[in-house]
Structure 1
């Protein structure tokens, strides 16, 4: 409009050779220019003139584009075709300290056409004089950053650091109607970031159909797209898109600074996942309400594509699925109101072999208010390679809790695991998943357990009743205790807790009491010489990190028992000496000991307080840096005494392994 009026005065230049204009404010097609200065120099008889257009400020507020200190200079040429003159001008345009772009303008009575070029990027604009409110834009290899301002109008914290756009944009800026923007775009390697790190995307490639309606202080938009590859991160949800097309659709509206309304949410990823829903978001994009229905006819790709963010936090990155499921949920004020999960022949496993559930069927239902019933079962499975049989769970949900309606017994390792009760509180804005159950263990075969976990060949049974097992904040706490029948004695476990049970560096803490263990059977299992007698003791404050001991207070000793001999072999004496930096003292000459296979003893005792990889050792009696491990009895009488109370724990473990493996042979001098 400015140039049309200005160029209409060009005949005046026949006398003046130069013309200038200053315009305080120009408004047209949703765009405002301020402090506009135009200058045209056209010497007499010259074939072309020199045009310069400057603007202190350009504000296309509805589109988000704002520029300062615009300066465009170009040689102006006049072309005559028939009776209508055509003006052509092409030259560099700058904004502030930004790089120069090439702007070409062709203007006649019928239309205005402009082309902006930077390297391979090209933006073409056409506006007909008959419909000046309509602008058509053609994009070719345009950096996504060029449209970042438009995106930030709808999403103020969003940035587009990488990517290219191709396509067409149609803008209707009629003064009597809302600004209407239609765009059909192809995006390549698009990246998105937000200032608050709430969302990110990278490598997005696909096609988008976008429509914006921007009435005063409001927004209505529809976005439909087809994506082929890329990554998305929204909160803890991390999505890895396949190369096969995934289609989606979103409708959204907002008035002023109010909530975002999303009446349509749609996602189609073949047989892997289909989603339909609606939502309302707070201005900060927190969820005010949400309703979703999900379905998968082939869930094999679901963990890798859609669940890895949450699975990583839970420590089960290797989750595998096979089969199908349907799910639905409703949230209100960020609180879960209802949910349902229907399973159809779903196999669930862990690539590290920690767990497996075969053919899960049924429906789990959750309600924050009125009661609902559900049931789910499996045909079998395994835990760390140990198989368990089929089981059915009948559940009820009300008042935000999921409860077991009747006892469940799962056959396991020749015995049973019984769940007398179960109560589950699903994650919320205030807390994560919480669970409590009453657990019974009846006659679990310890030998089978040891073989499955590649432990030494223990024999016995595991029995116990734990009134409450609580899971919260990625930690399991056991109230009550377990009693393990082992080596014709008993090991009682109390204060048992597990942190990050399926995560990085799982940590176990507990206290143990040993009562009357048969030392002959125990030392036979570990290959630690041969000792006859009964072992008692305690291990308090045991702490295992990634199943390696890092702290404990242990005290072990023998006690006489009717009908039980107390004898120790030469090999056991040598092994104890090699492990504990000890030596043996006898009432006879050393060479005479070689005549005996074993020796009587009055007592054996050893203790270790482990802190910071140092074991502070003790025995039946301690004096200075020496401590008695074995106190002999009879002839020949043999005592074993340690002479270093502070022992490096890794070194001690190496010695134990060597002794148990038979690498340290007895030497009698």
Structure 2
């Protein structure tokens, strides 16, 4: 608004030319055209009593339009006492009102060879100087001018942008030569700048810096050049969130905007020390979306790159605390909004995501992604870890075409004393509105379950994990597996099917699966868990298991023994006590209660127990036969055999899940005392 108001100066000259002896003089002008602004419905009135030292000047304009600067105002009115300066010039200082907004203070001095004006509001001031020797030039001095005063000019280049905070200081030269386009150039200092778009997809706060601006407005286009340094602040562009350091960061850019065609930045330069060096070109569509990119990136120290430039992307990937070191060079190209190519080289990169237990060391080699013809590359690492499970070196030989990465050969990784092999590995980076997609086959051979369990803080299982998954797919933050896995454990097997994960690297990861147990050696299991000894073979199932943040939410489980020829079925007194403690069970018959303390173990015919978990309540059950459902609503857990015959019966079918977990933990720590009923 300030510059548009100051273009009323030609009318002030007209007013000053009125005879001083007149008591009242007025003039109405339908239209006044200047190189920058057009004024309509103009009224000038001068009241100057005879022989008075000063008069009152009143100026009104129904409309003021400055299209090159983006200003359009209605109902401007300025009143001020008009006085001679004693040297053939005039002075006038008074309040200026526009559109009913907060008034400004406008002071104008019209000398014989120059014009000076100052527009102020509070501590903000915009001063103007024009010289008769250079009639095409107007000099503007800014002092603590609100950033929002440049809103109209900014809207010419970016219609959706809203300047929300900050102040500007500096000097600008506005040049309006005849038959040539408007030009604004000079140096500005920005403090605590803020901006945003209505949808919040682009925003900035606390931006500071000093830069030279060169702005031109030829017909049908806009030319802008910025050269300077930014100091501190933060800004958001889509999912890219940048936090700038407090020290100066040199930058330079040239921009060309064409009406209705978006912006092209043919030259961009960014210098953030060892963290990031960038140069190249970018083009935006009219909606500010990226269309074309050709940019070279270089980081000699990746330690600051994540927190400073990649936190938005890492947060979406579920890796907000990712730490990195090493160096990276890359060239990125986009064309028509789609990926054209990425050519990156990694130099001894280390990555650590402590919150997810993910780490790599010695990442090295090149990674090339092509949106067209095939290109080959090879990436390597020395070692890594996932949730505390270490794995060895690997080489990934890539071939890329049509925006997709494919491994040229199977990738094998040593882990847990065995091998993990990835077959047909395919990676599709985000494109066309789709997120990251990964496909692969998985083969596991000889992974030691004991080592796995102990690494995760569990007991020392015996057995191996073998099997293959023909196809697995990661898309839309979900990982699905076809086929299943077979674990050889406790001299039996556990088959895993319907395996999937949601948000595997995000907040509250969720795992779903079905388990089938076949012929597990109960003696080996109870020894591992220090539960008391039970001999026999265990079968069963766990259907619909759903873990949220690795805690059970739902499942339907049923476990039971199956007689085997030559396999004894005995249960120790301690195991009986533990089963009773965990499952709110009792011994049947007074003779059992009196004799249980006299025997070390007992024979049994069958053992069976079930739990259907939902809403933190476990609905318990026992053996599935007519004799298993006893009078009074009880259910048989252990059906005895021989003398003394021992039956264990549960009566509480609805058990609070957290309470059940506490009881299991107490059994594992040996903190269970015998209770005879």
Quickly name the TM-score band, shorter chain normalised: over 0.9
* Deviations 1:311-338, CA, capped at 9 Å, x for gaps: 1011011111111011112112221121
Q: Is this contact kept in 2: 1:56–1:70, CA < 8 A?
A: yes
Name 1:590's counterpart in structure 2.
Answer: 593
**Correspondent of 2:395 among 389, 392, 397:** 392
Relative distance call for 1:531 and 1:449 in structure 2 (3 A) is: same
| Aligned equivalent of 1:607, options 607, 610, 628 | 610
Determine the structure 1 residue equivalent to 2:675.
667
Equivalent pair of 1:578/1:664 in contact (CA under 8 Å): yes
More divergent stretch after superposition (569-578 vs 141-150): 569-578
Instruction: Tell me if the contact between 1:157 and 1:196 (Cα under 8 Å) persists in the aligned partners.
Output: no
Q: Residue 102 in 1 paired to residue 105 in 2?
A: yes
Q: TM-score, normalised by structure 1?
A: 0.96
1:567 is the counterpart of 2:565: no
- State the 1:456 CA deviation: 2.3
> 2:325 & 2:387 partners in 1: Cα distance?
19
Deviation at 1:233, TM superposition (A): 0.1
In the TM superposition, what are the counterparts of 1:634-649 in structure 2 within 5 Å? 634-649=642-657
Distance in 2 (alpha carbons) for counterparts of 1:438 and 1:353: 23
- Counterparts of residues 5-44 of structure 1 (less than 5 Å): 5-10=14-19, 13-14=20-21, 16-44=22-50
- What corresponds to 1:197 in structure 2? 200
Q: Secondary structure in 1 aligned to 2:578?
A: helix
Mapped to 2, the partners of 1:394 and 1:260 lie a distance apart of 39
1:240 to 240, 243, 256: 243
Query: How many angstroms apart in 2 are the aligned matches of 1:532 and 1:70?
Result: 97
1:220 aligned to 2:227? Answer: no
Tell me if the contact between 1:31 and 1:61 (Cα under 8 Å) persists in the aligned partners: yes
SS of the residue aligned with 2:666? helix
Q: Using the TM superposition, give the Cα deviation of residue 571 of structure 1 relative to its aligned residue in structure 2, in angstroms.
A: 2.0
Residue in 1 aligned with 2:6? none
2:30 aligned with 1:2: no
Q: Does 1:74 align with 2:74?
A: no
Q: Which residue matches 1:370?
A: 373
Instruction: Report the equivalent of 1:65.
Output: 71
1:580 aligns with 2:583: yes
Aligned length: 663
Aligned to 1:520: 523
1:409 aligns with 2:416: no
**Which whole-Å deviations, capped at 9, do the CAs of 1:398-444 have from their partners, x for residues lacking one?**
23321111222211121111123211111102311111112111111
Q: Is the 8 A contact 1:167 1:184 kept in 2?
A: yes
SS at match of 1:576: helix
Q: Is the 8 A contact 1:587 1:637 kept in 2?
A: no
Alignment-derived partner of residue 330 in structure 1: 333
Distance 1:161 1:259, change over 3 A: closer
Equivalent of 1:441, from 444, 468, 487?
A: 444
How far off is 1:453 after superposition? Answer: 1.0
Confirm or deny: 8 A CA contact 2:319 2:356 kept in the other structure: no
- Which residue, out of 626, 629, 638, partners 1:630? 638
1:177 correspondence with 2:180: yes
TM-score normalised to the size of structure 2? 0.95
Map Cα deviations across residues 581-618 of structure 1 (whole Å, 9 max, x no partner). 22111472522221112211100001112222222221
- Secondary structure of 2:51's partner? coil
Instruction: Give yes or no for contact 2:15–2:46 (8 Å, CA) kept in 1.
Output: no
In structure 1, distance between residues paired with 2:365 and 2:298: 15
3-state secondary structure, aligned to 1:132: strand
Counterparts in 2 of 1:251-330, with a 5 A limit? 251-330=254-333
Q: Displacement of 1:40 after TM fit? A: 1.2
1:492-511 pair list within 5 angstroms: 492-511=495-514
- For 2:664, the equivalent position in structure 1 comes to 656
SS at match of 1:659: helix
- Give the Cα separation in 1 of the matches to 2:330 and 2:620: 58
Contact map agreement 1:191 1:204 (CA 8 A) in 2: yes
CA distance in 1, matches of 2:426, 2:58: 77
Displacement, 1:662? 2.1
Maintained 8 Å contact 2:356/2:505: no
Residue of structure 2 equivalent to 1:553: 556
| Deviations 1:375-413, CA, capped at 9 Å, x for gaps | 011111222222222111111112332111122221112
The secondary structure found in structure 2 opposite 1:561 is: coil
- What is the rounded CA distance, in whole Å, between the counterparts of 1:449 and 1:434 in structure 2? 28
RMSD: 1.5
Offset, 1:462 = 1.0
Report the CA distance between 1:282 and its aligned residue.
1.3
CA contact (8 A) 2:587 2:593 kept: no
Q: Secondary structure at the match of 1:638?
A: coil
Corresponding residue SS for 1:588: helix
Distance 1:89 1:210 in 2: 32
Deviations 1:523-572 (A, max 9, x none): 22223232221111011111100001111111100011233221112222
Q: Deviations over 1:452-488 (max 9, x none)?
A: 1112222221111111121111111122221112222
Distance in 2 separating the partners of 1:290 and 1:538: 54
Counterparts of 1:79 and 1:102 in 2: how far apart (Å)? Answer: 19
SS in 1 for 2:482: strand
Shift of 1:66: 2.3
Report the Cα distance in structure 2 between the residues aligned to 1:308 and 1:500, rounded to whole angstroms. 18
Q: Distance in 2 between matches of 1:68 and 1:571?
A: 92
- Deviation for aligned residue 1:69: 1.4
Contact 1:586 1:637 in 2 (8 A): no
Q: What residue ranges of structure 2 are gaps of 5+ in the alignment?
A: 1-9
1:9 is paired with a residue whose SS is coil
- Looking at structure 2, the residues matched to 4 and 430 of structure 1 have their Cα atoms a distance apart, in angstroms, of 60
Structure 1, unaligned stretches of length 5 or more?
none
Partner Cα distance (1:314, 1:392) in 2: 24
Q: Residue by residue, what CA displacement relative to the aligned partner does 1:87-128 show, whole Å, maximum 9, x if unpaired?
A: 111111111221122111000221110011112111101112
Tell me the secondary structure at the aligned position of residue 313 of structure 2.
Answer: helix
How far apart, CA to CA, are the structure 1 residues paired with 2:201 and 2:267?
Answer: 21
CA distance in 2, matches of 1:101, 1:335: 49
What is the rounded CA distance, in whole Å, between the counterparts of 1:155 and 1:406 in structure 2? 49
Look up the SS of the partner of 2:377 in the other structure. strand
Q: Compared with structure 1, are the counterparts of its residues 399 and 101 closer, same or farther at alpha carbon in structure 2 (3 Å cutoff)?
A: closer
Q: Is the contact made by 2:612 and 2:620 (CA closer than 8 Å) also made in structure 1?
A: yes
CA contact (8 A) 1:533 1:566 kept: yes
**C-alpha separation in 2, matches of 1:255 and 1:231:** 28
